[in-house]
Structure 1
Amino acid sequence: MSYNDSAYPDSAQRLLRVAVELSGRSGPDYWADLTVGRPGEPPLDPAAPSGNVIRVRAADLREAGKIRDRIRSEAASEGRDPDAVTVLVDLEVLVDPDARAARRHARIEGTTARREPGTLSYVGTPEGLASLIADVHSVGVADGVTLIPVPVPFTVEHLVDGTLPWLEARGLLTVSPTVVEVLRRFGEGVGPAARAS
């Protein structure tokens, strides 16, 4: 399935959520919600005691959808609102504006083998990644993704300058000001002024 404006009804679909997990130079992994929910909703926090944000790992999209359905069913059977639970599927990514360059980086970095067994992965362009994320959301595979970038130069910039704007332009999400902190801590260089907006 590819992106189609009519596949995303405004009122019937919750906002897409995108988070990122990055490794710091001198510390533990850094996890950040790159999107904004509905008015009054706090940023996503998978460590919150409420258990309303659940990260999952799946070998393919079908498995991810089954896991999400099971989590929502369990929430309903516990008397909780299943729509209050946000299921994020982990997605390892390597992006470059040129798809051939992304595949070349994957071969050089040895990233064709996944870091974590049973984890979805994507190698290609920032816009191609955005289309995949939109499809994941539109067919109910997950409420969003946690992007786990392969550590190659400018990956964070490609996500912030390519993937997120593509999704925002289609009304699927609102980018959080958190992206400024992510770029400051993990970016490779200075980029367009639009990032700070």
Structure 2
Amino acid sequence: MTASVTPVATRPVVAHTAIAPQATISIGRPGLQVALTGDADAAFPIVVRQSNLRDAQRKRWVLRAGNHDPVNFVVALEIEAAIAPHPASARASARPVEAGEAETVRYVGTPEGLVTLIKDIYAAEVADAVIITPLDGSATAARVREEVLPLLRDQRRRVA
């Protein structure tokens, strides 16, 4: 028995994508979310508080293990932060950590450094979301809203 294949007119396949040049494609993972403590969008069902990023990453792996809906399963990491235009100013505004007090990751520095830390946390799959708790009150909260969140806005648009 022989089989014959009749050729069908072929045409080139053109794929159109609407991905921004710096966009990252994430399959099976929620897009990056960032919020300030107390804001309405800071209500994540699972919030991790760890003193270092490695322990936070392990905790996320354990929490996500066996989950059948990874796109809608968000693990948030709480970060205490004090930011200012100059690192020395940020250090002066943050209260010192007392012995045995380090329950969560702490960042003291510039807004650009905080943006880099948040992007690294997401890229290394330490957390899917970050909740920022200001160490110096409204000064850091205002800077986060004005300088950090706008820089991260592009990171939140993910393609699944």
Using structure 1 for the length normalisation, give the TM-score: 0.61
Task: Specify the alignment match of 2:24 in structure 1.
Answer: 9
Q: CA deviation at 1:116?
A: 5.0
RMSD: 2.4
Superposed counterparts of 1:58-69, under 5 Å: 58-69=50-61
Task: Specify the alignment match of 2:114 in structure 1.
Answer: 129
CA distance in 1, matches of 2:26, 2:127: 17
User: Is contact 1:92–1:150 with CA below 8 Å preserved after alignment?
Assistant: yes
Superposed counterparts of 1:1-197, under 5 Å: 9-12=24-27, 14-21=30-37, 30-33=38-41, 45-46=43-44, 53-74=45-66, 76=67, 80-106=68-94, 110-113=95-98, 117-168=102-153, 171-173=154-156
Residue type at the aligned position of 1:66: R
**Larger relative CO (CA 8 A, sep 6+): 1 or 2?**
2
Q: Percent identity?
A: 32
Distance 1:114 1:81, change over 3 A: farther
The structure whose Rg is larger is 2
Deviations 1:133-185, CA, capped at 9 Å, x for gaps:
000001111001111111345211110111111212xx2026xxxxxxxxxxx
Structure 2 unaligned residues grouped into runs of 5+:
1-20
Distance 1:102 1:115, change over 3 A: farther
CA distance in 2, matches of 1:71, 1:101: 37
Distance 1:115 1:156, change over 3 A: farther
Using structure 2 for the length normalisation, give the TM-score: 0.74
Secondary structure of the 1:92 match is strand
